[in-house]
Amino acid sequence: MKMKKSLSAVILMTVMVLILSACGGGTAGGSGDSDGGDGGGQQFITLLTGGTEGTYYPLGGSIAEILNSNVENVKATATSTGASVENMNKLSEGNDDIVAFSQTDIAAYASEGTLMFDGKAIENIQAIGSLYPETIQIVATEDSGIQTVEDLKGKTVSIGAPGSGTNASAEDILGIHGLNVDDIEVQNLDFGESTAGMQDGTIDAAFITAGTPTGAVESLSATTPVTIVGLDEDKVNQLIEEKPYYAPYTIEAGTYSLEEPVETVSVNAMLVTTAGMDEELVYNMTKALYENTGDIGHQKAEFIKAETAADGVSIPFHPGAKRYLEEAGVELPSS
């Protein structure tokens, strides 16, 4: 009888230990605490991307896999968002476990508190690095006769939605050519609407900011002869000097059946985080990204290089990213 009682006590104690362990009361390795406790708990990172039909979302998913495979105790997950502006606003909430995609110009506006962030500067954002160029393309129909930016005067031109990055770029480019939106018949259309308008003859030209070749422009050029309006070198240099988030870009011959290359500018897609994210974590993520681009399952991977990580970036770099890029020999802008 005594032995049975002892056995029962042992069984009861064993059951209690199992229950406590299942409830998280055990002292064995942690099960994913975001603060990375003694048990080697995981740091959960959210990658804010863009719409599921765009480039940011699938590229973000691939980058998340790179981080998960190469950074110890990190669990990164890509999530779909409304892209750059929404992502910057999300970072302003002070969450230090977020990495966000943005255009370099949108990040600059957010940091400065200008345009769509007027009076609401987001002071806690810092750069991880630039990814790939998003080209400012001025697309016109051949029938419009438009060959230069000055030729846009008096024409019907789509410049993107009010408050968008495309809209701001259009105003910048018009401005360095002595024009403004009052000199054109403005249409605020998205890419698909713009190319449809050129196809049916209701608009003459459109500013389109996207990686080249852009599907909507390719589809248009297959049915309607188009011209891509270039920028003179002095205008490119002037724009970059005034707005350092731009970078020079060449649209290669053969793109959209172009016979000659076209010089223009681009903003870049980039990764942004908060100043409060751990320096060592950001260092390791930056290193993992730029040293494993061959494992990124997306066509934009060919553009993602440490040596171009500062292209178009005008906000301060996070200390962790700065340390890695300087070790890699990248010349960073003074901040």
Q: Is the pLDDT of residue 130 over 70?
A: yes
Please give the residue that has the higher pLDDT: either 63 or 50.
63
Q: Is the pLDDT of residue 190 over 60?
A: yes
Token digits for 75? 């669990």
Q: What is the DSSP string of 118-166?
A: TT---TTEEEEEEEEEEEEEEEEEGGGT--SSGGGTTSEEE--STTSHH
Is the separation of the CB atoms in 146 and 153 below 8 Å?
A: no
Whole-model pTM: value is 0.76
Please give the residue that has the higher pLDDT: either 11 or 170.
170
Q: Is the pLDDT of residue 3 over 70?
A: no
